[in-house]
């Protein structure tokens, strides 16, 4: 590369290379304007390295040492004088807790009750001996008449170790002369009464439902009626667990027709055809035939259900359970559970009018009294349903099951 | 003794940035430089010896690179001079097998005289004189901008990325004569416009402002020889 000498000095020259770079070089008798090759160029000065010497570090080391010493001294002071090592509870009319440091001096006082708080309110116990503080506070109570010299003050100590406990115990027993003291460990101290929160479980135990559930033998046939009464008394929905526990007992005691609206059919009862309306009781149909205004059947049939307890000779299973051997395809109708009355197929047709299907999803879609008016009953030329023989015939005490129960 | 060492350190630190002070310091310590050269050559140096020039240059390098933590300046300078002379000796030793044109053969005739000379000495002298005039003119114009050749040499970019940034800025300035006119009129480098137009970092240009002054001046009219010398750069963009 060619260099053009642009400036000459005593000890160096400034050259310009062909890349338009200006460099320092040794002035080997150059003249300005001369073109030279292979000059002795100045070496790039190395950047000054910052040597970290001990001398430079000394101030920082000294500062760090000072901080360490101050920190250690502060920590030692804190642990010996400020940090709580043991607690002494002085229990008399006032429960006063003394928090002691490692040297046995009182760091702070605390009281949970009003009288104790009033006692220590204007009393400075900081860095006083525990026995002095105890004597002062006891003297105050004696002066105020809350204590006499014959009284016994319980002192509970929570010490760091057993030796410290023994020391404190000895000190308290020897240095407190005004009253008698009984020194014990803090673990023996009675806990202050805490406000009792109302326990929902305890209330639930008082619940009659829970009582009925708790002792099923006393009321073995507590069925839906009992549950209904309980629900009327307690509108709150029962716990799912309680409901599950209470449900199994109910179906056994009650006839299937008395199942509450919306209740699930039992597994042991064969479902009747889905579109088959229940047979209305014959007693209700008869007035319609006579042209009288029909009396609407009471929808609250479960309340009129026969009480199994009142009629113990009649088992509900005999009433409600259809014959398990009866098949729907049988032409011969199954014998009724109640043999008081036998109906012909025509009578059965009259008794089983075709009712308009209730609107689905409406609770009021159950068979109502208006739907059972005699004018609307038009017997259709239908063959007798074989399944009708499965149903119990015209039992006025049995409430017709709603359609939703068979849906 | 202590005041003497303090005085020389002061002068050295002054000579770091001032080329005239450096020249004065070198002239003051010429006996020291000669003695160090003599130690290496084992003879008194002749003013025409390259070793003496190299020793003076090494002394200047010592001035530039000296810091107080390196100890006494003269010891440091002596070490620098010795190192430079040794480097030069090794470099010359690599070329020892080559025959110098100045060496004489058995018939006492220089080899240089035997080579047919196609070089016109007169033309070369004229060319050198013209170049010198251009450089002097450039130096004078640079002085108006407060910049010397030594400053430019100190401020010249070294890293390739910086060199490339400066080249792009110079190329942008050459392609926009109004920028050069503004530069000559205001005597200020339009750093912001150059950085924006050439899409280079503004700080890079600011750090090498004195170098840009020299090259932008060369790029203006009146410095054909210098522009021809750096034609590679100019072709590449300038």
Q: What is the pLDDT of residue A34?
A: 86
Cβ neighbours of residue A149 closer than 8 Å, sequence gap 6 or more: A142, A178, A179
Q: Is A90 in the same domain as A165?
A: yes
Choose the weakest-confidence range: A41-45, A162-166, A289-293, B100-104: A289-293
Smallest Cβ distance to A27: which of B57, B69, B88?
B57
**Cα A62–chain centre separation:** 58
Q: Is A209 in the same domain as A234?
A: yes
Going by pLDDT thresholds of 50, 70 and 90, the confidence category of residue A225 is: very low
pLDDT of A264 strictly over 50: no
Q: What is the pLDDT of residue B148?
A: 86
Q: What is the pLDDT of residue A378?
A: 65
Domain-located, residue A113: yes
| ipTM metric | 0.85
Choose the weakest-confidence range: A81-95, A356-370, B110-124: A356-370
Going by pLDDT thresholds of 50, 70 and 90, the confidence category of residue B128 is: confident
d(CA A159, CA A89): 11
Q: Is B129 in the same domain as B189?
A: yes
**Average of per-residue pLDDT across B80-98:** 85
Choose the weakest-confidence range: A234-248, B33-47, B76-90: A234-248
Sheet with A2-8, strands from edge to edge, namely: A22-26, A12-17, A2-8, A35-37
Q: Is B95 on the interface with A (CB under 8 A)?
A: no
> Do A42 and B163 lie within an 8 Å CB cutoff?
no
Check residues A210 and B34 and name the one with the higher pLDDT: B34
d(CA B215, CA B210): 9
Q: Is B139 on the interface with A (CB under 8 A)?
A: yes
Q: Is A159 in the same domain as A286?
A: no
Q: Is B44 in the same domain as B133?
A: no
Range of B65's domain? 2-94
Cβ neighbours of residue A125 closer than 8 Å, sequence gap 6 or more: A98, A106, A108, A109, A133, A136
**Average of per-residue pLDDT across A148-156:** 87
**Average of per-residue pLDDT across A159-186:** 86
Strands (E), B60-118: none
User: Contacts of residue B130 in chain A, CB cutoff 8 Å?
Assistant: 33
Q: Is B129 in the same domain as B212?
A: yes
Percent of chain A with pLDDT strictly greater than 70: 44
Q: Is B230 on the interface with A (CB under 8 A)?
A: yes
> Do B88 and A34 lie within an 8 Å CB cutoff?
no
Q: Is A10 on the interface with B (CB under 8 A)?
A: yes
Domain-located, residue B115: no
d(CA B167, CA A164): 86
Domain-located, residue B105: no
Going by pLDDT thresholds of 50, 70 and 90, the confidence category of residue A268 is: very low
Domain-located, residue B107: no
Choose the weakest-confidence range: A38-52, A86-100, B127-141: A38-52
d(CA A96, CA A133): 11
For residue range B209-225, list pLDDT tens digits in order. Answer: 899 888 888 888 778 88
| Domain end (from B45, B76, B94) | B94
Q: Is A170 in the same domain as A131?
A: yes
User: Contacts of residue B70 in chain A, CB cutoff 8 Å?
Assistant: none
The tokens for B189 are 């480098």
Q: What pairs with residue A105 in β-bridges?
A: A129
pLDDT of A111 strictly over 80: yes
Q: Hey, which residues 171-210 in chain B have their CB within 8 Å of chain A? A: none
Percent of chain A with pLDDT strictly greater than 90: 6
Q: Is B163 in the same domain as B230?
A: yes
Smallest Cβ distance to B135: which of A18, A33, A40?
A33
Asked whether the beta carbons of A290 and A240 are under 8 A apart, the reply is no
Q: Is A50 on the interface with B (CB under 8 A)?
A: no
Domain-located, residue B158: yes
Smallest Cβ distance to B88: which of A23, A25, A40?
A40
pLDDT of A234 strictly over 50: no
CB-CB neighbours of A208 under 10 Å? 12
Q: CA angle, corner A14, sides to B100 and B222, nearest 5? A: 110
Percent of chain B with pLDDT strictly greater than 90: 22
Going by pLDDT thresholds of 50, 70 and 90, the confidence category of residue A151 is: confident
Q: What is the pLDDT of residue B84?
A: 92
Smallest Cβ distance to B232: which of A4, A18, A26?
A18
Q: Is A232 in the same domain as A282?
A: no
Hey, of A3, A4, A5, A12, which one would you mutate to test binding to chain B, going by the most B CBs within 10 A of its CB? A12
Domain-located, residue B135: yes
Q: What is the pLDDT of residue A366?
A: 47
Asked whether the beta carbons of A275 and A357 are under 8 A apart, the reply is yes
The tokens for B5 are 């060492």
Domain-located, residue B174: yes
Domain-located, residue B112: no
Going by pLDDT thresholds of 50, 70 and 90, the confidence category of residue A182 is: confident
Q: What is the pLDDT of residue A406?
A: 63
Q: Is B80 in the same domain as B145?
A: no
Entry pTM: 0.46
Closest chain A C-alpha to B56 CA, distance in angstroms: 5
Q: What pairs with residue A17 in β-bridges?
A: A3
Work out how many domains chain B is built from and give that number: 2
**Average of per-residue pLDDT across A34-51:** 76
Domain-located, residue A398: yes
Q: Is A210 in the same domain as A135?
A: no
Q: What is the pLDDT of residue A246?
A: 42
Place of tokens 């750096």: B230
Compute, in degrees rounded to 10, the torsion defined by CA atoms A162, A166, A167, A170: 170
The tokens for A229 are 């009464």
Place of tokens 């338009």: A20
Q: What is the pLDDT of residue A380?
A: 67
Q: Is B135 in the same domain as B182?
A: yes
Asked whether the beta carbons of A109 and A96 are under 8 A apart, the reply is yes
Q: Is A91 left (phi over 0), alpha (psi -120 to 50) or beta?
A: beta
Going by pLDDT thresholds of 50, 70 and 90, the confidence category of residue B167 is: confident
Domain-located, residue A360: no
The average confidence (pLDDT) of chain B is 84
Smallest Cβ distance to A33: which of B129, B149, B153?
B129
Domain-located, residue A195: no
> Do A20 and B215 lie within an 8 Å CB cutoff?
yes
Sheet with A106-111, strands from edge to edge, namely: A106-111, A95-100, A86-91, A152-158, A180-185
Q: Is B57 in the same domain as B158?
A: no
Check residues A405 and B228 and name the one with the higher pLDDT: B228
> Do A7 and B218 lie within an 8 Å CB cutoff?
no
d(CA A115, CA A121): 10
Range of A230's domain? 200-253
Q: Hey, which residues 12-41 in chain B have their CB within 8 Å of chain A? A: 19, 22-23, 26-27
The average confidence (pLDDT) of chain A is 67
Domain-located, residue B106: no
SS3 at position B172: helix
Q: Is A21 on the interface with B (CB under 8 A)?
A: yes
User: Contacts of residue B136 in chain A, CB cutoff 8 Å?
Assistant: 32
Q: Is B59 on the interface with A (CB under 8 A)?
A: yes
Q: Is A133 on the interface with B (CB under 8 A)?
A: no
**Whole-Å CA distances, A222 to A215, A226, A258, A302, A321:** 11, 6, 14, 13, 19
Domain-located, residue A305: yes
Q: What is the pLDDT of residue B81?
A: 94
Going by pLDDT thresholds of 50, 70 and 90, the confidence category of residue A70 is: very high
pLDDT of B78 strictly over 80: yes
Work out how many domains chain A is built from and give that number: 4
Smallest Cβ distance to A11: which of B26, B131, B157?
B26
**Cα A191–chain centre separation:** 27
Smallest Cβ distance to A28: which of B50, B135, B211?
B50
Check residues A174 and A207 and name the one with the higher pLDDT: A174
Q: Is A120 in the same domain as A179?
A: yes
Percent of chain B with pLDDT strictly greater than 70: 85
Q: Is B229 in the same domain as B167?
A: yes
């Amino acid at each position: 590369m060619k260099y053009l000498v642009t400036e000459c000095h005593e000890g160096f020259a400034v050259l310009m290379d062909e890349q338009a770079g200006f460099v320092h070089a040794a002035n080997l008798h150059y003249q300005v304007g001369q073109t030279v090759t292979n000059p002795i160029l100045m070496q790039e000065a190395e950047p000054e390295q910052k040597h970290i010497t001990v001398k430079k570090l000394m101030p920082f080391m000294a500062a760090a040492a000072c901080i360490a010493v101050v920190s250690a001294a502060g920590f030692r002071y804190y642990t010996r004088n400020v940090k709580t090592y043991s607690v002494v509870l002085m229990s008399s009319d006032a429960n006063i807790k003394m928090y002691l440091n490692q040297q046995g001096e009182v760091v702070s006082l605390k009281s949970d009750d009003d009288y104790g708080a009033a006692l220590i309110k204007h009393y400075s116990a900081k860095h006083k001996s525990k026995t002095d503080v105890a004597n002062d506070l006891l003297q105050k109570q004696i002066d105020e008449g809350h204590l006499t010299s014959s009284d016994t003050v319980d002192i509970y100590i929570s010490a760091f170790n057993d030796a410290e406990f023994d020391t404190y115990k000895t000190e308290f027993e020897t240095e407190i002369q005004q009253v008698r003291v009984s020194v014990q460990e803090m673990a023996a101290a009675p806990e202050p009464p805490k406000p009792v929160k109302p326990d929902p479980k305890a209330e639930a135990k008082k619940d009659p439902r829970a009582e009925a559930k708790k002792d099923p033998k006393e009321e073995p046939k507590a069925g839906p009626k009992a549950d209904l009464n309980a629900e009327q008394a307690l509108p709150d929905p029962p716990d799912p667990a309680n409901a599950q526990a209470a449900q199994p007992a109910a179906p056994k005691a009650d006839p299937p027709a008395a199942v509450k609206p919306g209740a699930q059919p039992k597994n042991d009862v064969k479902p009747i055809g889905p579109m088959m309306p229940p047979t209305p009781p014959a007693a209700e149909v008869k007035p319609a035939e006579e042209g009288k205004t029909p009396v609407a059947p009471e929808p609250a049939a479960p309340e009129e259900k026969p009480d199994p307890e009142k009629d113990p000779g009649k088992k509900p299973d005999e009433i409600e359970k259809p014959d398990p051997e009866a098949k729907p395809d049988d032409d011969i109708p199954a014998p009724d559970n109640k043999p008081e009355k036998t109906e012909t197929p025509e009578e059965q047709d009259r008794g089983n009018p075709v009712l308009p299907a209730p609107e689905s999803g409406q609770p009021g879609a159950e068979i109502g009294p208006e739907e059972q008016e005699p004018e609307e009953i038009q017997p259709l030329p239908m063959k007798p349903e074989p399944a009708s023989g499965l149903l119990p015939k015209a039992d006025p005490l049995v409430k017709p099951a709603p359609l939703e129960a068979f849906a | 003794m202590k005041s003497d060492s303090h005085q020389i350190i002061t002068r050295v630190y002054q000579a770091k940035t001032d080329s005239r002070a450096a020249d004065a310091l070198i002239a003051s310590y010429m006996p020291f430089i000669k003695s160090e050269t003599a130690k290496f050559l084992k003879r008194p140096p002749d003013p025409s010896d390259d070793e003496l020039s190299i020793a003076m240059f090494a002394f200047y390098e010592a001035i530039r690179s000296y810091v107080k933590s390196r100890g006494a300046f003269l010891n440091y300078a002596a070490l620098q001079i010795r190192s430079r002379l040794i480097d030069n000796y090794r470099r010359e030793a690599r070329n020892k097998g080559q025959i110098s044109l100045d060496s004489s053969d058995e018939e006492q005739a220089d080899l240089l005289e035997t080579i047919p000379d196609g070089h016109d000495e007169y033309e070369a002298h004229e060319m050198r004189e013209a170049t010198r005039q251009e450089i002097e003119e450039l130096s004078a114009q640079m002085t108006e901008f407060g910049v010397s050749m030594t400053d430019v040499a100190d401020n010249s970019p070294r890293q390739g990325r910086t060199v490339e940034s400066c080249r792009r800025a110079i190329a942008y300035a050459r392609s926009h004569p109004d920028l050069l006119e503004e530069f000559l009129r205001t005597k200020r480098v339009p750093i912001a416009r150059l950085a924006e137009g050439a899409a280079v970092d503004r700080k890079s240009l600011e750090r090498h402002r004195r170098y840009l002054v020299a090259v932008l001046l060369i790029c203006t009219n009146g410095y054909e020889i210098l522009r021809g010398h750096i034609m590679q750069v100019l072709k590449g963009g300038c």
